Amino acid sequence: MGFVEIDQHREALKGKLRDLDILRKALIAELDAINLYQSQILTLENEEAKKVLAHIMNEEKEHAAELLCVIKLLDEEEAKQLEKYLKAGKVDKCAEEH
Ligand SMILES: [Fe+2]
């Protein structure tokens, strides 16, 4: 799917679906930012610079959590799934056989 098709898809969305589309894309951006900062922290040599980027990375994690919170409020099925898996507590409980 090209960028033009994606833009047309976004234009076709209305109301809550459009809001969810925007929020999910914002969540993707936050997760990408976390990965970027993590790799930069591993590459940096200066300890103070590492601390600053670690602080920023943790803020991005908070932003991701805030976005999930809003998505949960707008998407009943996502809320149901998040409630189920956030209580898991162990990695082996993070997947369910279907
Ligand atoms: Fe952010």
Q: What is the pTM of this model?
A: 0.81
- pLDDT tens sequence across 29-43: 999 999 999 999 999
| Centroid of ligand 1 to alpha carbon of 43 (angstroms) | 21
Provide the total of helices (H) and of strands (E) in the chain, helices listed first.
4, 0
| Centroid of ligand 1 to alpha carbon of 79 (angstroms) | 22
Give the C-alpha distances (Å, rounded to integers) separating 92 from 7, 46, 85: 38, 37, 11
- pLDDT tens sequence across 44-88: 999 999 999 999 999 999 999 999 999 999 999 999 999 988 887
- What's residue 77's pLDDT? 96
Q: Taking the domains of the chain in order of start, what are their residue ranges?
A: 12-73
| Centroid of ligand 1 to alpha carbon of 60 (angstroms) | 4
| Centroid of ligand 1 to alpha carbon of 59 (angstroms) | 7
CA distance 61 to 92: 23
The residue that leads in pLDDT, 34 or 7, is 34
CA 67 to chain centre: 7
CATH number of this structure's domain 12-73, picked from the four choices 1.20.5, 1.10.1740, 3.40.50, 1.10.40: 1.20.5
| Centroid of ligand 1 to alpha carbon of 69 (angstroms) | 14
Q: Quote the crossing angle between the two packed helices 47-74 and 15-43, to the nearest 10°.
A: 160
| Centroid of ligand 1 to alpha carbon of 85 (angstroms) | 24
